[in-house]
Structure 1
Amino acid sequence: MHYETITYEVSDNICVVTLNRPDVMNALDTQMRAEITQAVRQGGKEARVVVLTGAGGRAFCSGQDLGDGANAANLDLERVLRDEYEPMLKAIYDCPVPTISAVNGTAAGAGANLALAADVVIATQSAVFIQAFTRIGLIPDAGGSYYLPRQMGMAKAMGAALFADKISARQADDWGMIYEAVADDGFEAHWRKRAAHLANGPTAAYNALKQAIRASFDNTLDEQLALEARLQGKCGQTRDFKEGVVAFLEKRPANYEGR
Structure 2
Amino acid sequence: MRIVVCVKHVPDVQAERVLGDEGFLVRGDDDVLNELDENAVQESVDLAGGDGEVIALTMGPEDAVDGLRRALALGADRAIHVCDDRAAGSDVLGTARVLAAAIRQLGEEAPIDLVVTGMAALDGMTATIPSALAAHLDLPALTLAKTVELTGTVLRITRTMGFSDEVLEADLPAILSVTDQANEVRYPNFKAIMAAKKKPIDEIDLDDLGLGDGLVGAAGAGTRVTNAVERPPRDAGEVHNDSGDGGRRLADYILGVMK
Which band: TM-score by shorter chain? under 0.3
Bigger-Rg structure (1/2): 2
**TM-score scaled by length of structure 2:** 0.26
**TM-score scaled by length of structure 1:** 0.26
> Whose helix proportion is higher, 1 or 2?
1
> Whose strand proportion is higher, 1 or 2?
2
Q: Which has the higher contact order (CA 8 A, sep 6+)?
A: 2
